[in-house]
Amino acid sequence: MEKVIDEKVQGTALVKEAKEGNSKRLFIESYGCQMNFSDSEIVASILANEGYNTTNQLEDADLVLVNTCSIREKAEQTVRKRLEKYNAVKQQNPKMKVGVLGCMAERLKEKFLEEEKIVDLVVGPDAYKDLPNLINEVEEGRNAVNVILSKEETYGDISPVRLQSNGVSAFVSITRGCDNMCTFCVVPFTRGRERSRDPQSILQEVNELWEKGFKEITLLGQNVDSYLWYGGGLKKDFAKASKMAQATAVNFAQLLDMVAEAQPKMRIRFSTSNPQDMTMDVIETMAKHHNICNYIHLPVQSGSDRILKKMNRLHTREEYFEMIDNIKKLIPDCGISHDMIAGFPTETEEDHQDTLSLMEYVKYDFGFMFAYSERPGTMAGRKFEDDVPEKVKKRRLTEIIELQQKHALYRTQQQVGKTVEVLIEKSSKRSDAHWAGRNSQNTMVIFPKENYKVGDYVMVKVEDCTSATLFGEAVDYSPMNA
């Protein structure tokens, strides 16, 4: 997944309601992308059946797990600092066990046990069902590791618990792994081959969430647009399938249509899209359904054709523009966000200016912007010299961020005077007298509480804005409440 959540904000212990009869305590933290947070919910579900309830008190935990990200060096450094903290606490509680999950576990494998000696178990993204066995190994005095990647595992048979949930929004994973092999990215090596989840299990999970009172879901995958299920899961096998299997295959546009029709009063979001795989039928499906939010996270990484080719992004600048034009033609008010990398190997000032001009063309609502960080094991790490000086990277990144802030303000200013539909998620951080929720374009909206409650769809007239937030007054309930 290319969209990354800020570790400083989101790297907190995740807690669910206690399961009666469970006596052991699990402390679990997640860093990185939305998929990691979704995976932590799967882990908590598996361990709930092994006698563990989650806790937000590190010192009280019998088992401490950190679900990790390897997409940038900074993310791994954050995890290492947390492991130091865990081990300091462990000195006072020798019975405590510490484990590393996810992408960093997959990348470093046994090194965590052999060289760093700071954890008891190492578990890759496809091995969570093996956690009970691995914990038994640790309890018997042996280190435990399982980082075997799977071509079939989707966890479609696991009903995730909703950790630290607001009871309104939830993640639903639809694919795992990635086949794209972008030269800067570790995901294909840490999460394995791409495979799609049975659509019936997805619909079942969505329906169960609705029955529990959830009002919004986000369909998750490293690349949701390449979702393809025909009874197997791997794209490479599809070409070998029979004509009958091809006729009954479900692609992402069809899945999106099925989910939207199954729960017409539930908001549907999805992440992440890949420009080379997004097709017109996805955009047409979005335009067809009111409950599919008008927001697309569409990472581009660079505005230079030369750099895009070096990144192995299988689209050009002009093809990306064509996709943007098609989106805005069918969904004029669609919010669009991006990922952008500054200072990729060999990037010149001309390449950088191409990136800025692409941003000027699109005028994104949001952006996730980073300086290039060489990741061990990637094609770029093996083949390309990291030859752009840090000072130049930082200057280019600053220019990208400043331009994005300008465009973000432009986009929110366009909303002033309009009435937008908002799903109330929580109280505003700034004032207990105000609600906070997002509109269809994924922008946060703040307005006075009055008689509304969390989970209500409310029509709000926008009166003011910053580059990231809209402010207004509620005028009525939305028809989505009916």
7-146 to CATH, choices 3.30.830.10, 3.40.50.720, 3.40.50.12160, 3.10.20.600: 3.40.50.12160
The predicted model gives 385-404 an average pLDDT of: 98
pLDDT digits (tens, 9 = 90+) for 247-271: 579 999 999 999 999 999 999 999 9
DSSP strand pairing (469-477 vs 457-465): antiparallel
The predicted model gives 23-39 an average pLDDT of: 90
Measured CA distances, 476 to 298, 419, 426, 458, 465 (Å): 32, 10, 18, 6, 20
Strands (E), 233-273: 250-251, 267-271
Delimit the domains of the chain by residue range.
7-146, 169-411, 419-481
Non-local CB neighbours of 292 within 8 Å, separated by 6+ positions: 256, 260, 267, 268, 269, 285, 286
pLDDT at 334 over 70: yes
pLDDT at 222 over 60: yes
pLDDT at 231 over 50: yes
**CATH class of the 169-411 domain in this structure:** alpha beta
- Helix (H, G, I), strand (E, B), or coil: what is residue 219? strand
Dihedral of the CA atoms 223, 298, 168, 217 (nearest 10)? Answer: -40
Of residues 149 and 246, the one with the higher pLDDT is: 149
- Return the CA Rg of the chain: 22
Mean of all residue pLDDT scores within the chain: 90
Report the pLDDT value the prediction gives residue 342, as an integer from 0 to 100: 98
* CA 47 and chain centroid, separation: 23
Among 118-132, 253-267, 302-316, 457-471, whose mean pLDDT is lowest?
A: 118-132
CA distance 82 to 75: 11
pLDDT digits (tens, 9 = 90+) for 157-183: 888 888 767 889 999 999 999 999 999
β-sheet with 295-297: strand ranges across: 295-297, 335-342, 366-371
CA distance 208 to 203: 9
Strands (E), 200-264: 216-220, 228-229, 250-251
**CATH class of the 419-481 domain in this structure:** mainly beta
The predicted model gives 378-407 an average pLDDT of: 97
CA distance 77 to 441: 33
Of residues 386 and 245, the one with the higher pLDDT is: 386
Of 266, 190, 178, 185, nearest to 227 by C-alpha is 178
Q: How confident is the model at residue 19 (pLDDT cuts 50, 70, 90)?
A: low
For residue 285, whether the previous peptide bond is cis, meaning omega lies within 30 degrees of 0, is: no
The predicted model gives 1-21 an average pLDDT of: 48
- Helix (H, G, I), strand (E, B), or coil: what is residue 176? strand
